[in-house]
Structure 1
Amino acid sequence: MLNNIAIGIIVGLLFVSLVILFCVVLIKLYINKVKNYTQQLYQKDIDFQKSLNETILETQEQVLNNISQDLHDDAGQQLTYINFQLENLKLDSPELQSLLEPVSQSVSNLSSSIRSISHSLNNQLLLQQDLFKAIENEVERLQKNPKVTITFEQESDSKKVFSSNEKIVIYRIFQEIINNAFKHAKAKKISVVLKTIPQFSMTIIDNGKGFDKEKLNNKATLGLQNMINRATIIGYKLTVQSEVGVGTTIIVNETKN
């Protein structure tokens, strides 16, 4: 009798254990299914956001290329024509040469500046250049501004090869950071440091007004987020360090192996 009771208890415990084990397996399967579904949704969201960012990037590049072409074909040609007229006027009226020479020089300088800006906006010309050289050339152009001191340093590995997207995105981020330092930060000193050892990094430091990220307005926040999104598209990370009254440091790092 006691043996039968013991066997019954053991069988009951085994049955309960099997039921519990079955429930645990079901719960784990359900949790894994939920996790997989969540990951798929998350991946789809990432893919959609990436696709959207790439579309925006392509649209922006097309607009910049159009502006570059307009500057070259319209404004550039008009300035060339004006300069041609000034030269003819100097030949026809030698007594006016001393008065017209500064005007002629100003037109030439303006034409040169427009040509440089046109080139910096055209991604086809950018793709034909070395990225570091393109940034260095832009820094040299900006160094002509007497109100701001800009320094450039590089530590490069000649083996580093940038893809077309990397070139375009990094260069556009560089342009936007510099523009913000001029326009918003009112910086007097800007430092640009490029490295490819051990991985690529671009560090831009300015001594401008600085800002509190928590108190940025929507427009400024959107501009910052756009740069972060652009960097993410090519597998890079953009970090911002800023202090009111001290300045801002922005670092773009390669995160890919």
Structure 2
Amino acid sequence: MNSIAFGIIIGFLFISLLVLFCILIVKLYMNKVKNYTQQLFQKDIDFQKAINTAMVETQEQVLNNISQDLHDDAGQQLTYINFQLENLKLDYPNLNDVLWPLSQSVGHLSQSIRSISHSLNNQLLLQQDIVKAIATEVERLQKNPKKKLKLSISQSARKELSANEKIVIYRIFQEIINNCFKHAKATRIDIQIKTYPAFVLSVSDNGKGFDYPVVTDGKRTLGLQNMEHRARIIHYDLVIVSKVNEGTTITLSEKL
């Protein structure tokens, strides 16, 4: 009788150990699957970051090339044209009244091209504060009589940004303004910048707006995709709030 009871106990312990062993095997397998999935996910994230970074670097190189061409080619040609106009003024003083408006227009065009060239060149951007760079660009855009731009800056403490952050923030700002002018048909644009405790750039317009939920379902424009890719590269949040006929607000903020 005792031997039977002992055998039952031994069998029970054996089965218990077998079940426990199976549980450990399953747990180890699940952990291995989880770790493998995380590795695949991280590799996918790293791969996407690499693609985004390469894309941004390519775009920056193209913009720098355009900036150089504007400065070296268009800028020099306008300087030559202005030089010719000044010679005409000296040779034909009686044409001064006719040539003066043309000379003024060439001068304004030359200044505009110089400003655009500077805004496209990231090396010039890196040499100045991002808030000052945006303020300078706003000042240039305010010369458009059909658009009313207002800039508000809350800079209670200076926020030091990396070179990559400066370039990305400025390019996103340019993309937002381009959308306001080209697509939204906005007449009023309000720009707000906060530098403390985190950098925040918010741009609101009174344009025609769009159905953002529909756009996020696979119909995003290249401009929106560029902004999203750039924001992810510097680990910033990009929030878009838009309604048809009610305007759009886009906020780029540093994650705390």
* TM-score for the superposition, normalised by structure 1: 0.95
The answer as to whether partners of 2:189 and 2:204 remain within 8 angstroms in 1 is yes
The separation in 2 between residues aligned to 1:117 and 1:195, in whole angstroms, is: 25
The separation in 2 between residues aligned to 1:14 and 1:207, in whole angstroms, is: 76
- Report the Cα offset of residue 157 of structure 1: 4.2
- Higher mean alpha-carbon deviation, 20-29 vs 86-95, is at 86-95
Q: Does 1:172 align with 2:182?
A: no
Encode CA deviations 1:110-162: one digit per residue, 9 max, x unaligned.
Answer: 00000000000000000000000000000000000000100101112444111
The separation in 2 between residues aligned to 1:61 and 1:231, in whole angstroms, is: 15
User: What SS does structure 2 have at the residue aligned with 1:42?
Assistant: helix
What corresponds to 1:35 in structure 2? 34
The separation in 1 between residues aligned to 2:59 and 2:195, in whole angstroms, is: 27
User: What SS does structure 2 have at the residue aligned with 1:230?
Assistant: helix
Encode CA deviations 1:143-188: one digit per residue, 9 max, x unaligned.
Answer: 0000010010111244411111000000000000000000000001
What corresponds to 1:182 in structure 2? 181
What corresponds to 1:75 in structure 2? 74
What corresponds to 1:248 in structure 2? 248
Q: How does 1:121-132 map to 2 (within 5 A)?
A: 121-132=120-131
The separation in 2 between residues aligned to 1:34 and 1:220, in whole angstroms, is: 34
The separation in 1 between residues aligned to 2:19 and 2:177, in whole angstroms, is: 64
What corresponds to 1:154 in structure 2? 153
User: What count of residue pairs does the alignment treat as equivalent?
Assistant: 255
- Report the Cα offset of residue 96 of structure 1: 1.2
Structure 2: which 5+ residue stretches go unaligned? none
Q: Does 1:23 align with 2:54?
A: no
Encode CA deviations 1:189-237: one digit per residue, 9 max, x unaligned.
Answer: 1011111222111101011010012444977433212211111111111
The answer as to whether partners of 2:159 and 2:196 remain within 8 angstroms in 1 is no
- Report the Cα offset of residue 56 of structure 1: 1.0
- Report the Cα offset of residue 9 of structure 1: 2.8
What corresponds to 2:223 in structure 1? 223
User: What SS does structure 1 have at the residue aligned with 2:221?
Assistant: helix
Q: How does 1:84-95 map to 2 (within 5 A)?
A: 84-95=83-94
The separation in 1 between residues aligned to 2:24 and 2:208, in whole angstroms, is: 59
Give the letter aligned to residue 248 of structure 1: T
The separation in 2 between residues aligned to 1:158 and 1:88, in whole angstroms, is: 52
What corresponds to 2:202 in structure 1? 203
Structure 1: which 5+ residue stretches go unaligned? none
RMSD: 1.5
Give the letter aligned to residue 35 of structure 1: K
* TM-score for the superposition, normalised by structure 2: 0.95
Cα 1:6/1:199, change in 2 over 3 Å = same
Give the letter aligned to residue 35 of structure 2: N
The separation in 1 between residues aligned to 2:141 and 2:85, in whole angstroms, is: 28
User: What SS does structure 2 have at the residue aligned with 1:209?
Assistant: coil
The answer as to whether partners of 2:158 and 2:195 remain within 8 angstroms in 1 is no
Give the letter aligned to residue 209 of structure 1: K
The separation in 1 between residues aligned to 2:219 and 2:54, in whole angstroms, is: 21
